[in-house]
Structure 1
Amino acid sequence: MAVKFKGNIVKLVGKELHISDDAPVVMLVGKDLSTIEIGGTQDKYQIINVVPSLDTGVCATQTRKFNQEAASLKNARVFVVSMDLPFAQGRFCSAEGIDNICVASDFRKKEFGKSYGVLLGDSPLEGLLSRAVFVVNPQGKIIYKEICEEITNEPDYQAPLRVIQ
Protein backbone atom coordinates (compact mmCIF):
# COMPACT_ATOMS: atom_id res chain seq x y z
CA MET A 1 0.00 0.00 0.00
CA ALA A 2 1.29 3.43 -0.91
CA VAL A 3 1.17 6.09 1.80
CA LYS A 4 0.86 9.70 0.71
CA PHE A 5 1.39 13.12 2.23
CA LYS A 6 -0.76 15.71 0.44
CA GLY A 7 -0.99 13.41 -2.56
CA ASN A 8 2.74 12.62 -2.84
CA ILE A 9 3.93 9.07 -2.13
CA VAL A 10 6.19 8.77 0.91
CA LYS A 11 8.54 6.00 1.97
CA LEU A 12 7.93 4.09 5.19
CA VAL A 13 10.98 2.78 7.04
CA GLY A 14 11.02 -0.36 9.13
CA LYS A 15 9.49 -3.80 9.14
CA GLU A 16 5.99 -4.08 7.69
CA LEU A 17 3.70 -5.86 10.13
CA HIS A 18 0.62 -7.91 9.26
CA ILE A 19 -2.48 -9.16 11.02
CA SER A 20 -1.57 -12.16 13.26
CA ASP A 21 2.09 -11.08 13.56
CA ASP A 22 3.56 -10.80 17.04
CA ALA A 23 3.45 -7.16 18.12
CA PRO A 24 7.03 -6.04 18.81
CA VAL A 25 7.74 -4.97 22.37
CA VAL A 26 9.00 -1.39 22.36
CA MET A 27 9.99 0.90 25.23
CA LEU A 28 8.82 4.48 24.83
CA VAL A 29 8.94 7.61 26.99
CA GLY A 30 5.90 8.82 28.93
CA LYS A 31 4.93 12.44 29.48
CA ASP A 32 6.56 12.19 32.94
CA LEU A 33 9.74 10.63 31.43
CA SER A 34 8.74 7.18 32.68
CA THR A 35 9.27 4.11 30.52
CA ILE A 36 6.17 2.80 28.75
CA GLU A 37 6.07 -0.68 27.25
CA ILE A 38 3.95 -1.14 24.15
CA GLY A 39 3.33 -4.37 22.27
CA GLY A 40 3.84 -7.96 23.37
CA THR A 41 1.58 -9.75 25.80
CA GLN A 42 -0.30 -7.65 28.33
CA ASP A 43 -3.36 -8.22 30.48
CA LYS A 44 -5.61 -6.15 28.17
CA TYR A 45 -6.02 -5.31 24.51
CA GLN A 46 -3.80 -2.47 23.32
CA ILE A 47 -5.12 0.16 20.93
CA ILE A 48 -2.06 1.94 19.57
CA ASN A 49 -3.03 5.25 18.02
CA VAL A 50 -0.09 6.60 15.98
CA VAL A 51 0.13 10.27 14.92
CA PRO A 52 2.83 12.43 13.30
CA SER A 53 2.52 15.28 15.84
CA LEU A 54 -0.01 16.38 18.44
CA ASP A 55 0.60 19.95 17.22
CA THR A 56 -1.54 19.39 14.12
CA GLY A 57 -5.32 19.62 13.94
CA VAL A 58 -5.93 16.13 12.55
CA CYS A 59 -3.64 14.51 15.15
CA ALA A 60 -5.31 16.45 17.96
CA THR A 61 -8.76 15.41 16.72
CA GLN A 62 -7.69 11.77 16.41
CA THR A 63 -6.31 11.79 19.97
CA ARG A 64 -9.42 13.50 21.40
CA LYS A 65 -11.72 10.96 19.70
CA PHE A 66 -9.75 7.96 20.98
CA ASN A 67 -9.69 9.55 24.45
CA GLN A 68 -13.51 9.77 24.40
CA GLU A 69 -13.88 6.17 23.24
CA ALA A 70 -11.33 4.91 25.77
CA ALA A 71 -13.44 6.12 28.68
CA SER A 72 -15.91 3.27 28.08
CA LEU A 73 -13.35 0.50 27.50
CA LYS A 74 -12.72 -1.82 30.43
CA ASN A 75 -10.70 -4.46 28.57
CA ALA A 76 -8.30 -2.21 26.65
CA ARG A 77 -5.52 0.27 27.18
CA VAL A 78 -5.27 3.06 24.62
CA PHE A 79 -1.95 4.64 23.68
CA VAL A 80 -1.10 7.59 21.48
CA VAL A 81 2.41 7.41 20.04
CA SER A 82 4.20 10.30 18.36
CA MET A 83 7.66 11.82 18.04
CA ASP A 84 6.58 14.81 20.13
CA LEU A 85 8.73 15.46 23.18
CA PRO A 86 7.18 14.14 26.40
CA PHE A 87 6.85 17.70 27.76
CA ALA A 88 4.79 18.76 24.72
CA GLN A 89 2.64 15.63 25.08
CA GLY A 90 2.02 16.50 28.72
CA ARG A 91 1.02 20.08 27.87
CA PHE A 92 -1.31 18.83 25.14
CA CYS A 93 -3.02 16.36 27.49
CA SER A 94 -3.42 19.01 30.20
CA ALA A 95 -4.83 21.60 27.80
CA GLU A 96 -7.21 19.11 26.13
CA GLY A 97 -8.32 17.20 29.23
CA ILE A 98 -6.88 13.96 27.85
CA ASP A 99 -6.87 11.50 30.74
CA ASN A 100 -8.16 8.18 29.37
CA ILE A 101 -5.16 7.32 27.22
CA CYS A 102 -1.44 6.91 27.73
CA VAL A 103 0.80 9.18 25.63
CA ALA A 104 4.17 7.81 24.61
CA SER A 105 7.04 9.40 22.72
CA ASP A 106 9.31 7.60 20.26
CA PHE A 107 11.74 10.54 20.08
CA ARG A 108 14.80 8.80 21.53
CA LYS A 109 15.48 5.85 19.24
CA LYS A 110 12.60 5.83 16.75
CA GLU A 111 12.28 2.19 17.79
CA PHE A 112 8.49 2.09 17.54
CA GLY A 113 8.50 3.63 14.06
CA LYS A 114 11.06 1.13 12.79
CA SER A 115 9.58 -1.92 14.57
CA TYR A 116 6.04 -1.20 13.38
CA GLY A 117 7.02 0.03 9.90
CA VAL A 118 5.54 3.51 10.25
CA LEU A 119 8.62 5.77 10.34
CA LEU A 120 8.50 8.32 7.52
CA GLY A 121 11.70 8.05 5.49
CA ASP A 122 11.13 11.04 3.23
CA SER A 123 8.72 13.94 2.61
CA PRO A 124 8.51 17.17 4.61
CA LEU A 125 7.53 14.96 7.59
CA GLU A 126 10.65 12.77 7.38
CA GLY A 127 11.55 11.39 10.80
CA LEU A 128 7.99 11.54 12.14
CA LEU A 129 5.50 8.68 12.29
CA SER A 130 2.82 7.98 9.72
CA ARG A 131 -0.82 8.05 10.85
CA ALA A 132 -1.85 4.53 11.88
CA VAL A 133 -3.84 2.42 14.33
CA PHE A 134 -2.89 -1.04 15.60
CA VAL A 135 -4.82 -3.31 17.95
CA VAL A 136 -2.89 -5.97 19.85
CA ASN A 137 -4.73 -8.74 21.70
CA PRO A 138 -3.71 -9.81 25.24
CA GLN A 139 -1.63 -12.64 23.73
CA GLY A 140 0.50 -10.08 21.87
CA LYS A 141 -0.84 -10.65 18.34
CA ILE A 142 -1.78 -7.84 15.98
CA ILE A 143 -5.50 -8.23 15.27
CA TYR A 144 -6.11 -4.90 13.53
CA LYS A 145 -3.94 -2.59 11.47
CA GLU A 146 -4.71 0.59 9.58
CA ILE A 147 -2.03 2.77 8.07
CA CYS A 148 -3.87 5.74 6.62
CA GLU A 149 -3.33 5.97 2.88
CA GLU A 150 -3.24 9.78 3.11
CA ILE A 151 -1.41 11.01 6.22
CA THR A 152 -3.63 14.10 6.44
CA ASN A 153 -6.82 11.97 6.75
CA GLU A 154 -8.29 10.60 9.96
CA PRO A 155 -8.41 6.83 10.56
CA ASP A 156 -11.52 4.71 11.01
CA TYR A 157 -12.43 5.14 14.68
CA GLN A 158 -15.00 2.36 15.00
CA ALA A 159 -13.18 -0.55 13.32
CA PRO A 160 -10.47 -0.93 15.99
CA LEU A 161 -13.11 -0.84 18.71
CA ARG A 162 -15.23 -3.50 16.98
CA VAL A 163 -12.36 -6.02 16.92
CA ILE A 164 -12.13 -6.03 20.71
CA GLN A 165 -15.86 -6.14 21.48
Structure 2
Amino acid sequence: MAHITLGGDPIETIGTLPSVGSKAPSFKITATDLSSKSLEDYKGSRLILNIFPSIDTGTCAKSVRTFNEKATQLENTKVLCISKDLPFALNRFCGAEGLDNVESLSDFKTGGFGKDYGITIKNGPLETLLSRCIVVTDKDGTILHTEQVSEIKDEPNYEAALDALK
Protein backbone atom coordinates (compact mmCIF):
# COMPACT_ATOMS: atom_id res chain seq x y z
CA MET A 1 0.00 0.00 0.00
CA ALA A 2 1.06 3.56 -0.61
CA HIS A 3 1.44 5.89 2.35
CA ILE A 4 0.26 9.33 1.27
CA THR A 5 -1.09 12.42 2.99
CA LEU A 6 -4.06 14.74 2.75
CA GLY A 7 -3.21 18.13 4.22
CA GLY A 8 -0.30 16.48 6.03
CA ASP A 9 -2.49 13.82 7.66
CA PRO A 10 -1.48 10.24 6.79
CA ILE A 11 -3.78 8.06 4.69
CA GLU A 12 -3.19 4.88 2.69
CA THR A 13 -4.19 3.25 -0.56
CA ILE A 14 -5.28 -0.38 -0.88
CA GLY A 15 -2.16 -1.28 -2.87
CA THR A 16 0.57 0.15 -5.03
CA LEU A 17 0.72 1.24 -8.64
CA PRO A 18 1.77 -1.37 -11.20
CA SER A 19 5.51 -1.27 -11.82
CA VAL A 20 7.33 0.35 -14.72
CA GLY A 21 7.97 -2.28 -17.40
CA SER A 22 4.83 -4.27 -16.61
CA LYS A 23 1.69 -4.34 -18.75
CA ALA A 24 -1.04 -1.92 -17.74
CA PRO A 25 -3.92 -3.79 -16.09
CA SER A 26 -7.03 -4.01 -18.21
CA PHE A 27 -9.99 -1.93 -17.11
CA LYS A 28 -13.65 -1.27 -17.80
CA ILE A 29 -14.84 2.22 -16.88
CA THR A 30 -17.56 4.65 -17.93
CA ALA A 31 -17.24 7.49 -20.45
CA THR A 32 -19.16 10.75 -20.17
CA ASP A 33 -21.73 9.45 -22.69
CA LEU A 34 -22.30 6.47 -20.32
CA SER A 35 -20.66 3.99 -22.71
CA SER A 36 -18.13 1.50 -21.38
CA LYS A 37 -14.46 1.95 -22.20
CA SER A 38 -11.66 -0.55 -21.77
CA LEU A 39 -7.91 -0.53 -22.21
CA GLU A 40 -8.47 -2.37 -25.49
CA ASP A 41 -10.30 0.67 -26.88
CA TYR A 42 -6.99 2.55 -26.81
CA LYS A 43 -4.81 -0.18 -28.31
CA GLY A 44 -2.08 1.30 -30.53
CA SER A 45 -2.09 4.67 -28.73
CA ARG A 46 0.28 5.89 -26.07
CA LEU A 47 -1.60 6.80 -22.90
CA ILE A 48 -1.29 9.23 -20.05
CA LEU A 49 -3.67 8.24 -17.25
CA ASN A 50 -4.29 11.35 -15.15
CA ILE A 51 -5.97 9.88 -12.06
CA PHE A 52 -7.43 12.01 -9.29
CA PRO A 53 -10.03 12.08 -6.46
CA SER A 54 -12.59 14.60 -7.81
CA ILE A 55 -12.90 17.09 -10.66
CA ASP A 56 -14.55 19.50 -8.21
CA THR A 57 -11.30 20.34 -6.45
CA GLY A 58 -8.81 22.97 -7.58
CA THR A 59 -5.81 20.67 -8.00
CA CYS A 60 -7.76 18.01 -9.89
CA ALA A 61 -9.28 20.59 -12.22
CA LYS A 62 -5.87 22.16 -12.83
CA SER A 63 -4.35 18.78 -13.77
CA VAL A 64 -7.09 18.23 -16.36
CA ARG A 65 -6.58 21.75 -17.79
CA THR A 66 -2.80 21.32 -17.89
CA PHE A 67 -2.90 17.94 -19.62
CA ASN A 68 -5.54 19.27 -22.05
CA GLU A 69 -3.06 22.00 -23.05
CA LYS A 70 -0.07 19.63 -23.26
CA ALA A 71 -1.97 16.96 -25.20
CA THR A 72 -2.02 19.09 -28.35
CA GLN A 73 1.74 18.57 -28.64
CA LEU A 74 1.67 14.78 -28.24
CA GLU A 75 1.70 12.49 -31.24
CA ASN A 76 -0.37 9.27 -31.06
CA THR A 77 -1.13 9.92 -27.39
CA LYS A 78 -4.42 10.00 -25.54
CA VAL A 79 -4.83 11.60 -22.13
CA LEU A 80 -7.42 9.81 -20.01
CA CYS A 81 -8.61 11.74 -16.94
CA ILE A 82 -9.98 9.19 -14.47
CA SER A 83 -11.86 9.65 -11.20
CA LYS A 84 -14.90 8.27 -9.40
CA ASP A 85 -16.91 11.40 -10.23
CA LEU A 86 -20.18 10.81 -12.01
CA PRO A 87 -19.82 11.03 -15.79
CA PHE A 88 -22.25 13.98 -15.74
CA ALA A 89 -19.91 16.03 -13.52
CA LEU A 90 -16.91 15.22 -15.70
CA ASN A 91 -18.85 16.14 -18.85
CA ARG A 92 -20.11 19.39 -17.29
CA PHE A 93 -16.61 20.46 -16.26
CA CYS A 94 -14.92 19.70 -19.59
CA GLY A 95 -17.79 21.27 -21.54
CA ALA A 96 -17.77 24.44 -19.47
CA GLU A 97 -13.98 24.70 -19.77
CA GLY A 98 -13.88 23.85 -23.48
CA LEU A 99 -11.51 20.94 -22.88
CA ASP A 100 -11.50 18.60 -25.85
CA ASN A 101 -7.94 17.20 -25.92
CA VAL A 102 -8.52 14.88 -22.96
CA GLU A 103 -11.04 12.12 -22.37
CA SER A 104 -12.80 11.94 -19.00
CA LEU A 105 -13.69 8.54 -17.59
CA SER A 106 -15.36 7.41 -14.38
CA ASP A 107 -14.74 4.43 -12.10
CA PHE A 108 -18.00 5.08 -10.23
CA LYS A 109 -19.83 1.83 -11.09
CA THR A 110 -17.60 -0.86 -9.64
CA GLY A 111 -14.41 0.76 -8.39
CA GLY A 112 -12.58 -1.97 -10.31
CA PHE A 113 -10.09 0.41 -11.90
CA GLY A 114 -8.97 1.70 -8.50
CA LYS A 115 -8.68 -1.83 -7.14
CA ASP A 116 -6.76 -3.19 -10.14
CA TYR A 117 -4.34 -0.26 -10.11
CA GLY A 118 -4.01 -0.34 -6.28
CA ILE A 119 -4.94 3.33 -5.91
CA THR A 120 -8.25 3.37 -4.05
CA ILE A 121 -7.91 5.38 -0.86
CA LYS A 122 -8.32 3.05 2.12
CA ASN A 123 -9.02 5.51 4.97
CA GLY A 124 -9.56 9.15 5.85
CA PRO A 125 -12.03 11.72 4.52
CA LEU A 126 -11.52 10.67 0.86
CA GLU A 127 -11.96 6.95 1.59
CA THR A 128 -12.98 4.95 -1.53
CA LEU A 129 -11.95 7.72 -3.96
CA LEU A 130 -8.91 7.38 -6.23
CA SER A 131 -5.56 8.79 -5.14
CA ARG A 132 -3.71 11.28 -7.33
CA CYS A 133 -1.51 9.29 -9.72
CA ILE A 134 -0.06 9.32 -13.20
CA VAL A 135 0.50 6.23 -15.34
CA VAL A 136 2.12 6.51 -18.77
CA THR A 137 2.11 3.64 -21.28
CA ASP A 138 3.57 3.04 -24.69
CA LYS A 139 1.40 2.00 -27.66
CA ASP A 140 1.65 -1.66 -26.59
CA GLY A 141 0.37 -1.01 -23.07
CA THR A 142 3.74 -1.32 -21.32
CA ILE A 143 4.07 1.08 -18.40
CA LEU A 144 6.80 3.66 -18.98
CA HIS A 145 6.26 5.89 -15.94
CA THR A 146 4.20 6.05 -12.77
CA GLU A 147 3.79 8.65 -10.07
CA GLN A 148 1.90 8.28 -6.82
CA VAL A 149 1.62 11.90 -5.63
CA SER A 150 2.58 11.78 -1.96
CA GLU A 151 0.41 14.75 -0.86
CA ILE A 152 -3.02 14.60 -2.50
CA LYS A 153 -3.28 18.40 -2.61
CA ASP A 154 -0.12 18.62 -4.75
CA GLU A 155 -0.05 18.53 -8.55
CA PRO A 156 1.61 15.67 -10.39
CA ASN A 157 4.96 16.12 -12.10
CA TYR A 158 3.70 16.93 -15.61
CA GLU A 159 7.15 17.14 -17.16
CA ALA A 160 8.19 13.70 -15.88
CA ALA A 161 5.06 12.20 -17.44
CA LEU A 162 5.68 13.93 -20.75
CA ASP A 163 9.39 13.08 -20.73
CA ALA A 164 8.52 9.38 -20.43
CA LEU A 165 7.06 9.62 -23.95
CA LYS A 166 10.23 11.06 -25.53
Bin the TM-score by the shorter chain: over 0.9
Could you tell me which runs of 5 or more consecutive residues in structure 1 were left unpaired when the two chains were aligned. Answer: none
Q: Deviations over 1:5-52 (max 9, x none)?
A: 111221211454111111001011000001112379721111000010
Instruction: Give, as a single letter, the amino acid of the residue that structure 2 aligns with 1:137.
Output: D
Task: Give the percent of matched residue pairs that are identical in Structure 1 and Structure 2.
Answer: 38
- Tell me which moved more, 33-42 or 67-76: 33-42
The answer on whether the counterparts of 1:40 and 1:141 sit within 8 Å (CA) in structure 2 is no
| Matched position secondary structure for 1:63 | helix
Structure 1 length-normalised TM: 0.95
Q: Deviations over 1:110-154 (max 9, x none)?
A: 111111111001110001100010001112111100010000000
Distance 1:18 1:157 in 2: 19
State the number of aligned residues.
165
* Residue correspondence of structure 1 range 1-165 to structure 2 within 5 A: 2-14=3-15, 16-38=17-39, 42-165=43-166
Instruction: Give, as a single letter, the amino acid of the residue that structure 1 aligns with 2:57.
Output: T
Structure 2 length-normalised TM: 0.94
Moved over 4 A (4+): none
The answer on whether the counterparts of 1:45 and 1:136 sit within 8 Å (CA) in structure 2 is yes
Q: CA deviation at 1:62?
A: 0.6
Q: CA RMSD in A?
A: 1.5
| Matched position secondary structure for 2:153 | coil
Distance 2:11 2:31 in 1: 28
Distance 2:54 2:114 in 1: 13
The answer on whether the counterparts of 2:55 and 2:61 sit within 8 Å (CA) in structure 1 is yes
The answer on whether the counterparts of 2:83 and 2:105 sit within 8 Å (CA) in structure 1 is yes
